[in-house]
C-alpha cells in the first residue's frame, strides 16, 4: 500500500473491463513511477501497479509532500466528474488533467467537463482539432519491452494448436464500429485461396453486440470455415498472440486513437489498417503495412491479399514496423511528454 503523502499524481481507472485506456495505464504508469510519485485508483488493473485503495480517498484532501498540488489525471468522463467533485465540493488540493483521444465532436456533457479541466492533453493532431480548449498533443506510445519480436517456441504459430503455417489476426472488441464484420468478410473471401493461413479474432463480446457476433458466426459456418476463422474471446495473453501473427488487421470504421497497430508492429508483425483514428499517423505505407479507407471492404481485401500471397513481404514489413515503432512511438516518449505537462503545472502553481 502506498502512502498518500508521497503520491503526487493519481491516475484513476474507473472501468472493470480491459480497454485501450487500460493498456495505456498498464504500460505508462510503471515508467512514470520511476520519476514521479504516481498511483492508480480503481478496478480492472493487474497487481504490481502502484495503487491507492478506496478507503484512502479522504487522504486526498491533504496536500502531498514536496508539491503544491496533487494532479488528478483522468481519461474518461466519470473520472473527470469525480475529480471535479473532489476539487469543488471538498476543496481537495487537486489540479485536473484530462487526456482526450476522441476524433469526433464531444457531447455537451463531455464538453462541459473538459472545460473545467485545468490542463488537457490530446493524443493526436486530429484529436486536438475536436477540442475547444487549449491543449498539448502527446501521442500514445507502446512498451517495446513488453511487445517484442518472437524469440522462443511459445511465440511460434505452431504452439497455438490451430491449423496452417501463417496467422492473420484482428484484435479488439467485437462490434460494428471496430469493423469485425469487414475482417470476417475479407477472410471468407480470401482464405479459400490461401490454405496455409488461419485467422484469429481476439476480443470481448458485450451483451449489446451478441446478435452482431452471432451473425458473424453464421457467416463463417455458411462458408465452412469454422476451423480457419477462430474466435479466441477476451485473452489475457494478447502479447504472445501478436508475436504469433504474420499480419494484424485493424479495420475500424471509427477509432479514437487505437493502440493495436502499435502493439502489433512492436511485436514485429505487419499491419493493414483503415484510416480511422490515428492509424495513418502510425503506419508507413508500403514499409510497415498498408492503410485503406475506413469501411471499404474491397480495398481491405486487396491490401490483405498482397500479404497472404507473399508471406515474406509480411515478414519484411514486420521487421520494419518494429524498428519504426520503437524509434517513433516508445512509451518513454509518451511518458516524457506527459511529465512535461505535469512539471509545467507544478511550476505555475508556485
Return the closest-CA partner of residue 253 out of 275, 220, 227.
275
| pLDDT, mean of residues 248-258 | 93
Q: Which domains does the chain have, with CATH numbers?
A: 4-141+330-349 (3.40.50.2000), 153-328 (3.40.50.2000)
pLDDT at site 162: 97
Per-residue exposure over 180-216, b if at least 16 CB sit within 10 Å of its own CB, e if not? bbbbbbbbbbbbeebeebbbbbbbebeeebeeebeeb
More confident site: 103 or 220: 220
Q: Are 38 and 11 in contact (CB under 8 A)?
A: yes
- The share of the chain scoring above pLDDT 70, in percent, equals 99
For residue 19, pLDDT beyond 90: no
Q: Mean pLDDT over all residues of the chain?
A: 95
Return the closest-CA partner of residue 114 out of 141, 335, 127.
127
| pLDDT, mean of residues 125-136 | 91
Q: Are 99 and 37 in contact (CB under 8 A)?
A: no
pLDDT band for position 125 (cuts 50, 70, 90): confident
For residue 298, pLDDT beyond 90: yes
Cell output for 6: 508521497
Per-residue exposure over 289-303, b if at least 16 CB sit within 10 Å of its own CB, e if not? bbbbebbebebbbeb
pLDDT digits (tens, 9 = 90+) for 136-175: 999 999 999 999 999 999 999 999 999 999 999 999 999 9
- The DSSP code sequence of 259-324 is -HHHHHHHTT-EEEEESSTTHHHH--BTTTEEEE-TT-HHHHHHHHHHHHH-HHHHHHHHHHHHHH
| pLDDT, mean of residues 94-111 | 92
Q: Are 284 and 324 in contact (CB under 8 A)?
A: yes
For residue 105, pLDDT beyond 90: no
Q: How many Cα neighbours within 13 Å face the side chain of 92?
A: 22
pLDDT band for position 254 (cuts 50, 70, 90): very high
pLDDT band for position 350 (cuts 50, 70, 90): low
For residue 99, the cross-strand partners are 121
3-class secondary structure, 251: coil
More confident site: 128 or 73: 73
For residue 69, pLDDT beyond 80: yes
pLDDT at site 109: 96
pLDDT digits (tens, 9 = 90+) for 209-224: 999 999 999 999 999 9
| pLDDT, mean of residues 116-137 | 93
For residue 55, pLDDT beyond 90: yes
Amino acid at each position: 500500500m502506498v502512502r498518500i503523502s508521497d503520491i503526487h499524481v493519481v491516475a484513476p481507472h474507473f472501468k472493470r473491463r480491459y480497454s485501450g485506456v487500460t493498456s495505456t495505464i498498464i504500460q505508462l504508469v510503471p515508467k512514470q513511477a520511476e520519476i514521479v510519485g504516481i498511483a492508480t485508483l480503481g478496478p480492472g488493473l493487474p497487481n504490481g501497479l502502484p495503487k491507492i485503495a478506496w478507503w484512502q480517498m479522504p487522504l486526498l484532501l491533504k496536500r502531498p509532500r514536496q508539491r503544491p498540488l496533487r494532479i488528478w489525471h483522468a481519461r474518461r468522463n466519470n473520472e473527470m466528474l469525480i475529480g471535479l467533485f473532489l476539487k469543488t465540493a471538498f476543496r481537495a488540493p487537486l489540479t485536473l488533467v484530462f487526456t482526450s483521444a476522441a476524433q469526433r465532436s464531444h457531447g455537451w456533457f463531455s464538453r462541459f467537463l473538459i472545460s473545467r479541466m485545468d490542463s488537457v492533453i490530446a493524443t493526436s493532431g486530429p484529436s486536438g482539432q475536436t477540442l475547444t480548449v487549449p491543449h498539448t498533443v502527446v501521442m500514445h506510445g507502446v512498451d517495446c519491452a513488453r511487445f517484442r519480436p518472437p524469440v522462443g517456441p511459445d511465440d511460434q504459430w505452431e504452439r497455438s494448436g490451430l491449423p496452417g503455417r501463417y496467422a492473420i489476426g484482428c484484435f479488439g472488441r467485437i462490434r460494428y464500429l471496430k469493423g469485425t464484420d469487414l475482417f470476417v468478410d475479407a477472410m471468407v473471401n480470401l482464405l479459400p485461396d490461401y490454405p496455409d493461413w488461419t485467422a484469429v479474432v481476439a476480443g470481448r463480446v458485450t451483451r449489446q453486440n451478441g446478435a452482431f457476433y452471432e451473425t458473424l458466426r453464421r457467416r463463417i459456418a455458411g462458408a465452412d470455415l469454422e476451423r480457419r476463422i477462430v474466435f479466441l474471446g477476451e485473452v489475457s495473453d494478447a502479447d504472445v498472440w501478436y508475436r504469433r501473427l504474420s499480419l494484424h488487421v485493424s479495420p475500424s470504421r471509427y477509432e479514437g486513437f487505437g493502440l493495436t497497430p502499435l502493439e502489433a508492429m512492436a511485436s514485429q508483425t505487419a499491419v493493414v489498417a483503415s484510416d480511422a483514428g490515428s492509424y495513418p499517423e502510425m503506419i508507413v505505407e508500403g514499409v510497415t503495412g498498408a492503410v485503406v479507407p475506413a469501411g471499404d471492404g474491397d480495398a481491405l481485401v486487396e491490401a490483405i491479399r498482397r500479404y497472404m500471397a507473399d508471406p515474406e513481404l509480411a515478414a519484411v514489413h514486420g521487421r520494419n514496423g518494429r524498428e519504426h515503432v520503437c524509434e517513433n512511438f516508445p512509451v518513454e516518449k509518451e511518458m516524457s511528454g506527459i511529465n512535461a505537462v505535469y512539471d509545467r503545472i507544478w511550476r505555475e502553481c508556485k
